[in-house]
Amino acid sequence: MNIVLLGAPGAGKGTQAAKLVEEQGLCHISTGDILRAAVKDQTPLGVKAKGFMDAGELVPDDLIIDLMKERMEQPDTDKGVILDGFPRTTTQAVALDSMLSELGRPLDAALLIDVDSEVIVTRLTSRRMCRECGNIGSAADGETCLKCGGEMYQRDDDNEETVRNRLDVYDKSTAPLIDYYHGKDLLVKIDGDRDPQVVFTDVVSALGL
Ligand code: ADP
Ligand code: ZN
């Protein structure tokens, strides 16, 4: 099964993806995680991407498409992928269609996790992430990762100004993909403004898992 996750930043895509991986053994590909690792390691990609990410802007399509072509060719994608943070523009969606058709693997669904933008601003500005394992938590959980004991930190792009810019970018560049996938009869919409476990129950039934 190959799935695209759609939804604003902070809608809960990463959380739902982690649950799908745990229960369905799908291969989770998060372009945000790949880019953050590249920035941390100061690879050529990371050096090019950092400024865009800190400003809440999209990294240019050609960089992302090259990155994803390489990633999709790795053998662990055989068992099916859950794409989190890609595609984010129509150009990327068209590129994904041709990658998948070359690999002979059709897309099964585009899952939209729908959350109101004011809810998102509150969620993201209080969001914390583990430096060691990437676990997502909230400022209210304290400074230590509940999973691995690592340090919880605030992402550079989770301040209010950058969050508002990311939401604008989402509305302009990524929201049109909702129509794109609706037109292909692949869109599945889930109300994301509920407890993550309740959202997941809906995801599982919507995907017929
Ligand atoms: P979120 O969904 O919380 O905004 P991500 O972790 O998916 O965050 O992405 C963080 C940043 O990485 C984005 O704001 C953007 O700069 C960059 N990025 C990630 N995926 C893409 C993509 N497919 N195209 C362009 N930029 C991307
Ligand atoms: Zn951790």
Give the CATH number for residue 39. Answer: 3.40.50.300
Question: In the numeric block, which tokens belong to residue 80?
Answer: 């099916």
Among 76, 73, 83, 71, smallest CA distance to 108 is for 83
Give residue-wise pLDDT tens across range 73-109: 999 999 899 999 999 999 999 999 999 999 999 999 9
Domain annotation covers residue 160? no
Q: Tell me: pLDDT of 35 over 90.
A: yes
Domain annotation covers residue 95? yes
Domain annotation covers residue 110? yes
The whole model's pTM is what? 0.90
Domain annotation covers residue 33? yes
**Whether 127 is catalytic:** yes
**Domain range for 59:** 3-115+174-207
13, 36, 50, 71: which one is catalytic? Answer: 13
Domain annotation covers residue 9? yes
Give residue-wise pLDDT tens across range 155-182: 999 999 999 999 999 999 999 999 999 9
Domain annotation covers residue 125? no
DSSP letters spanning 62-114 = HHHHHHHHHHHTSGGGGG-EEEES---SHHHHHHHHHHHHHHT----EEEEEE
**Whole-number pLDDT of residue 209:** 86
pLDDT above 90 as % of the chain: 94
Ligand 1: centre distance to CA 206 (Å): 25
Q: Is 186 helix (H, G, I), strand (E, B) or coil?
A: coil
Mean pLDDT, the chain, integer: 95
Domain annotation covers residue 77? yes
Instruction: State the ligand closest to the CA atom of 56.
Output: 1
Tell me the best of 58, 96, 136, 158 to mutate to test the pocket of ligand 1, counting ligand atoms within 8 Å of each CB and taking the most. Answer: 58
**Whether 164 is catalytic:** no
Instruction: State the ligand closest to the CA atom of 133.
Output: 2
Question: In the numeric block, which tokens belong to residue 116?
Answer: 């109101």
**Whole-number pLDDT of residue 33:** 94
Ligand 1 proximity of 31 Cβ (cutoff 6 Å):
yes
Measured CA to CA in angstroms, residue 151 lies from 31, 61, 128, 145 at distances of: 22, 32, 10, 6
**Whole-number pLDDT of residue 24:** 87
Q: Structurally, how many domains does the chain consist of? A: 1
Domain annotation covers residue 68? yes
